[in-house]
Amino acid sequence: MSLDDAAEELASTLGVDKTEVKADLEKLVSYSVPMDEAKQSLRRKYGDAGSSSGQSGSPPKTEIDDITPESGNVSVTARVLTVGKRSIRYEGENQIIFEGELADESGRISYTAWNDFSLSPGDTITAGNAGVREWDGEPELNLGGSTTVTMQEEPLSVPYEIGGERDLIDLEPGDRGRTVDAKVLEVERRTINGRDGETEILSGEIGDETTRLPFTDWDPHSEIAAGASVRLADVYVDEFRGVPSVNVTEFTAVESIGDVEVNESATEMTVRAAVESGGVYDVLLTGSVIEVRDGSGLIQRCPECGRVVQNDQCRTHGQVDPEDDMRVKAILDDGTETVTVILGSDLTARVYGGSLEDALDHARDAMDRGVVAERIADALEGREFSVRGALSVDEYGANLNATAFDERADDPKALATAFLSEVDA
């Protein structure tokens, strides 16, 4: 909330002149007094005893937009937007927690409830003495043993969607209590070593009209079968290799529904939009290859873990007898931003114009492994390509693992080359 808005609100609740209140507020804020405290001391100064004394020990009401990671404990009146139920491991015990978002007119905030306050989307509550902690740079509310939750009769109107129903394209890592309608495109049963020993899970891919996403079902549901359409009520979203991944749990209500249409094509985006979205599972980017990077062409991998090794040394497995492979790391630029496109061995063989064996022969004849990367660079640099694949964004940058890589047919340079070769013939 801006200083001006705060002054306006104070002036009207205290029945005093706004300019006077604003001058006082500005002074307090200039002394680095947090806005909430400043407002509180002005309430005391102008004698609004009701809200300043409050109930014993409960902090003053705070607007959500004013909460910062440094706010300490707060009391808020808010609408419950979403509720997700999850079991986590806490201090060696399985504990059930509830997570989602709360909102008032000023903003919204994530919460974690460590007790079952029987929250439902749409409820209006006053949470007294809620803790504030920082999560990923943002404040988050903790509703725990010392928090009082009171239901309010009058629903608070908020400028946000109530309930967790979303299209797959709108899911983001960190989302809780979401409900999606989707078709199961691929599913595989696997045994993993979970926190309670060996356990069976399902993993695969789901899709709707907007996009496709990977999923994991931690408590295999029989309704989740290839080709089936299902409503998944109360899923949470985390990140798997930099893209959103849907998690179905024992608390998810899984229901068979009528056939869900699936968008088979990738989402077309500019490189900038794709990178700013933080990761896209299936994206189509079009741009020019401006550089084929080091680490392209013939490479060697650890036979144990598949990591790229140099001088027969794996970072994890030490001295190894490496296996030959080939790949491309190319920088694609569409004028908005750049991304590193990674081609695996099959796509690399295609752009190189020969198999791994051919490439090894080529390098042996030239007595230089670099000739393979050089030929690839000649074939790619300066040309325009459409690339489809999974984009991940992390501390190493933006990487697109390509599933398809095609030269643009209407690329002027390609057309010119084709035309010239016709003229020459």
- The nearer residue to Zn ion, 304 or 378, going by C-beta atoms, is 304
Contacting Zn ion (CB under 5 A), which of 313, 316, 319, 355?
A: 316
Q: Does 323 bind Zn ion (CB under 5 A)?
A: no
Q: Work out how close the CB of 309 gets to Zn ion at its nearest, in angstroms, rounded to a whole number.
A: 7
Listed ranges 34-42, 55-63, 226-234, 296-304: which one lies at the site for Zn ion (CB under 5 A): 296-304
Amino acid at 275: V
From residue 358 to residue 377, the character string flagging contacts with Zn ion as x (rule: CB under 5 A) and all else as - is --------------------
Q: Work out how close the CB of 240 gets to Zn ion at its nearest, in angstroms, rounded to a whole number.
A: 22
CA gap 402, 214 in Å, rounded: 16
Query: φ, ψ for residue 261 (rounded to 5)?
Result: -70, 140
What does the buried/exposed string (b/e) look like for 379-391 if buried means 16 or more CB atoms within 10 Å of the residue's CB? bbeeebbbbbbbb
- The nearer residue to Zn ion, 317 or 350, going by C-beta atoms, is 317
Q: Work out how close the CB of 392 gets to Zn ion at its nearest, in angstroms, rounded to a whole number.
A: 21
**Residue ranges in 133-162 that form contacts with Zn ion under rule CB under 5 A:** none
Name the helix (H) or strand (E) containing 25.
helix 18-30
Listed ranges 95-103, 291-299, 306-314, 386-394: which one lies at the site for Zn ion (CB under 5 A): 306-314
Q: Does 317 bind Zn ion (CB under 5 A)?
A: yes
> Residues with Cβ < 8 Å from 401, sequence gap 6 or more?
342, 344, 389, 390, 392
How many beta carbons lie within 10 A of that of residue 373, not counting itself? 23
Taking CB positions, which residue lies at the least distance from Zn ion? 302
Q: Work out how close the CB of 315 gets to Zn ion at its nearest, in angstroms, rounded to a whole number.
A: 7
Q: Which of 104, 217, 108, 200 is nearest to 152 (CA)?
A: 104
How many residues sit in the footprint of Zn ion (CB under 5 A)? 6
Q: Does 313 bind Zn ion (CB under 5 A)?
A: no
> Residues with Cβ < 8 Å from 46, sequence gap 6 or more?
10, 14, 16, 21
- The nearer residue to Zn ion, 221 or 307, going by C-beta atoms, is 307
Listed ranges 42-50, 312-320, 330-338, 366-374: which one lies at the site for Zn ion (CB under 5 A): 312-320
**Residue ranges in 257-276 that form contacts with Zn ion under rule CB under 5 A:** none
Q: Does 305 bind Zn ion (CB under 5 A)?
A: yes
3-state secondary structure of 244: strand
Residue 279 structure tokens: 């990761």
Contacting Zn ion (CB under 5 A), which of 4, 304, 361, 378?
A: 304
Name the pairing type of β-strands 243-248 and 253-256.
Answer: unpaired
Q: Does 314 bind Zn ion (CB under 5 A)?
A: yes
Q: Work out how close the CB of 314 gets to Zn ion at its nearest, in angstroms, rounded to a whole number.
A: 3
What does the buried/exposed string (b/e) look like for 84-113 if buried means 16 or more CB atoms within 10 Å of the residue's CB? bbbeeeeeeeeeebbbbbbbbebbbbbbbb
Binding region for Zn ion (CB under 5 A) = 302, 304-305, 314, 316-317
